[in-house]
Amino acid sequence: MSSYKDKKVITIGIVSELTGLSERKIRYYEERKLLFPERTNGGTRKYSFADVEKLIDIANKMEDGMQTFEIRKMEQKKLTDKQLRERMLRGQINAAFNVRK
């Protein structure tokens, strides 16, 4: 079951109000592949609370002088690091319980 924070239910107008970012800037971050809203059949973007938090983080990094490509690289590295940690943990659990593949 996914967390309420991950459910894509918020429209771009509400996200704009919550973050203080313009709708145009939010769309720009999407164009730069920094976040990935879902689309309804009618094409309306839907965001999650996790997306709102991510947008605030992106805006803060941009304010600190980072470029969008740098932020994207950081996000990709975070994902890779997370996958590596999960793989190592799985290996430790398998070793502890003598599980063989």
Domain interval for residue 49: 4-96
CA torsion angle for 8, 52, 5, 33 (degrees, to 10)?
Answer: 60
Confidence check: pLDDT of 88 > 90: no
CB atoms within 10 A of CB 18: 15
Residue 101 is assigned to a structural domain of this protein = no
Residue 31 is assigned to a structural domain of this protein = yes
What tokens appear for 28 in the block? Answer: 């720009």
Assign residue 53 the CATH number of its domain: 1.10.1660.10
**Rounded Cα–Cα distance for residues 44 and 50 (Å):** 18
Per-residue pLDDT tens digits for 21-80? 999 999 999 999 999 999 999 999 999 999 999 999 999 999 999 999 999 999 888 878
CA 96-97-101 angle, to 5 degrees, is 105
What integer pLDDT is reported at residue 44 of this predicted model?
A: 94
Residue 49 is assigned to a structural domain of this protein = yes
**Rounded Cα–Cα distance for residues 69 and 80 (Å):** 16
Q: How many domains does the chain have?
A: 1
